[in-house]
Structure 1
Amino acid sequence: MIRHARTADHPAIREINETAFGKDDEARLIEALRANGDVMFELVAEAEGALVGHILFSRLWADRTGLIAALAPMAVWPGHQRRGLGGRLIETGIDTCRDFGAHAIVVLGHPDYYPRFGFSAEAARLISSPYSGSPAFMAMELERGALADPMSVAYPDPFSAAG
């Protein structure tokens, strides 16, 4: 089951991210995004009464109108990886971004993984950001033409603090 995260889920979300990534950088990023009010929404995946996956979307600051979302981070408990759970979190997150009125989503992620969900470096080619030009910097339009013109986006401060 995938649902919106609740405050009571925060300790389990921290544990999922620390375990999946083998360090606490992503968990600290999540906590800083929450503290700064930058989180658009978070989703969790539940299996057999335990949380086993998490995805977070934050707001980006664009130099033109329209809500642009950033997908980061996304983590699945190691014992539940490679079963499609990450994909279901991403797909549900994309649908939820549409519900929130986002015009596009960007991600800094694995170039062999995210394209299967519609993300591409080509879609991000006109976006100026600290990550521009990296094959891992990808985007997808949720509204036709949202990425047709050049734009600059600024990530929330916790991203630069995360390194």
Structure 2
Amino acid sequence: MLKIRKEEEEDHGKVFDLIEEAFRQMEHSDHQEHFLVEKLRKSEAFIPELSLVAEDDNGEIAGHILFTKITVEGGGQSFPSLALAPVSVKPEYQNKGVGARLILQGHHIAKELGYESVILLGHENYYPRFGYEKTSNFGISFPFEIPEENGMAIELVKDGLKNVHGIVRYPKEFGID
């Protein structure tokens, strides 16, 4: 049985290795996700309660997810949101619901913390099962070119993205200008 819990400092080394392993064979990866997580942990965008691990009965970390603060900038306004990036699952635990458990628990905690939406870049066949829709449906775009179906958002509360239009602004640690 998996337990989802907040990542602790002593988990960092194991999580670093897990993320590297999880993305090693991914073709749509720059293979820098493990370094990104290290940078984000030290950033103002980091929310300790939203860096979660999935732990098995033996205390082995099977997965990790990170949500960080971002904004959507448009019409002279700045709207707070969260980026889901990355979600990582050890290869031997993939396709067993670990990622889903991490995503759903992350949504639950984010909502409790007062966040109203989450934005991500991801696989168009995976994230819609959790309620994610194309960001273009909300009038939200990215500061770089992506296939429209890979930019997605979810409202954690009713109308969480109502009247939110603009461009996603990532923390500098993402390396996106």
- Determine if the TM-score, normalized by the shorter chain, exceeds 0.5: yes
TM-score normalised by length of structure 1: 0.90
CA gap of 1:124–1:7, structure 2 versus 1, over 3 A, is: farther
The number of residues matched between the two structures is: 162
Question: Percent identical across equivalent pairs?
Answer: 35
1:37-90 deviation line (CA, Å, top 9, x unaligned): 321220000012111100000000233465311100000010111111110000
Output the CA distance in 2 between the equivalents of 1:113 and 1:103.
Answer: 21
2:175 corresponds to: 160
- Pairwise CA RMSD: 2.0
1:37 to 44, 51, 65: 44
Q: Secondary structure at the match of 1:13?
A: helix
2:67 to 49, 57, 60: 57
1:104 corresponds to: 117
Output the CA distance in 2 between the equivalents of 1:65 and 1:36.
Answer: 19
- Structure 2 matches for 1:1-163, cutoff 5 A? 1-22=3-24, 24-40=31-47, 41-47=50-56, 48-63=58-73, 64=77, 66-121=79-134, 125-131=138-144, 134-149=148-163, 150-160=165-175
TM-score normalised by length of structure 2: 0.83
Instruction: Give unmatched runs, 5+ long, in structure 2.
Output: 25-29
For 1:37, the aligned partner's letter is E
Q: Secondary structure at the match of 1:45?
A: strand
Instruction: Give unmatched runs, 5+ long, in structure 1.
Output: none
| Structure 1 ranges of 4+ moved more than 6 A | none
Does the Cα contact within 8 Å between 2:71 and 2:78 map onto a contact in 1? no
Output the CA distance in 1 between the equivalents of 2:18 and 2:161.
Answer: 33
